[in-house]
């Protein structure tokens, strides 16, 4: 393996993927949400940087081309597992996460089956938009967890009626509950919308890959 800077960044991104889950095992919330959010954003940024450097420095390698999509898929799938697991299995998150996971497994299996012929399944611009939508949606959903748990911490020990009065504007908001609720609601809704957009792009690009692979899947006569 050639230890070029782009390849090193790709390996670090691959190793960071399980780190998202470990954050929630070793840290309490909302610190786990903060650390997972920062780690995910850092990994997403390095995804762009390592590709840009590999092309501009002419350091594109076979091992880098192999590991880059694996790192992306690992990061997305593990992040979705964590988000869905801490969302009380909301169907609004479970369904798009299922579509995304199924597509990634399906396309990976398709590439493995085709072997050397998998070079015909080149990454399209729409697939790049799909990856971008996934990354942004997941980052926003991690941010939603931050707002949610700061809201819980700020209202801890308060009577439920007092909390309702503060959020409705009938009581003075000394703890900043309203802006925390606003952030929680809007990041949650935005994250779900973006995740459904990513799921739609995922299904479309998955179908495109399958359609391109069809000529190689026909039985020899």
pTM for this predicted structure: 0.83
Average pLDDT estimate for 40-47: 86
- Residue 49, class by beta-carbon neighbours within 10 Å (0-12 exposed, 13-18 middle, 19+ buried)? middle
- How many CB atoms are located within 10 Å of the residue 117 CB? 12
CA distances from 152 to 83, 145, 168, 171, 172 (A): 18, 11, 16, 18, 17
Average pLDDT estimate for 123-138: 84
pLDDT at 201: 92
Q: What is the pLDDT of residues 75-89, one digit of tens each?
A: 899 999 998 888 777
- What SS3 class is residue 190? helix
CA-nearest of 124, 129, 119, 126 to 213 is: 119
Highest mean pLDDT among 27-31, 55-59, 82-86, 199-203: 199-203
pLDDT at 123: 67
Q: What is the pLDDT of residues 200-215, one digit of tens each?
A: 999 998 888 888 877 7
C-alpha neighbours within 13 Å on the C-beta side of residue 35: 17
Mean pLDDT (the chain) is: 83
- What SS3 class is residue 61? coil
């Amino acid at each position: 393996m050639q230890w070029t800077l782009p390849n090193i960044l790709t390996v670090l991104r691959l190793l960071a993927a399980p780190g998202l889950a470990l954050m929630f095992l070793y840290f309490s919330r909302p610190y786990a949400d903060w650390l997972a959010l920062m780690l995910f954003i850092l990994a997403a940024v390095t995804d762009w940087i390592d590709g840009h450097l590999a092309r501009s420095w002419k350091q594109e390698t076979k091992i880098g081309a192999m590991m880059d999509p694996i790192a992306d898929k690992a990061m997305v799938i593990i992040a979705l597992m964590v988000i869905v697991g801490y969302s009380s299995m909301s169907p609004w998150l479970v369904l798009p996460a299922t579509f995304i996971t199924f597509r990634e497994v399906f396309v990976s299996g398709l590439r493995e089956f085709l072997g050397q012929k998998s070079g015909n399944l080149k990454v399209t611009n729409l697939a790049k938009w799909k990856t971008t939508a996934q990354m942004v949606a997941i980052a926003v959903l991690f941010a939603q967890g931050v707002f949610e748990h700061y809201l819980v911490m700020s209202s801890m020990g308060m009577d439920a009626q007092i909390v309702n009065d503060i959020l409705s504007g009938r009581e003075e908001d000394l703890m900043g509950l309203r802006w925390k609720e606003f952030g929680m609601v809007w990041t949650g809704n935005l994250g779900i919308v973006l995740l459904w957009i990513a799921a739609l792009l995922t299904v479309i690009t998955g179908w495109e890959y399958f359609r391109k692979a069809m000529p190689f899947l026909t039985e020899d006569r």
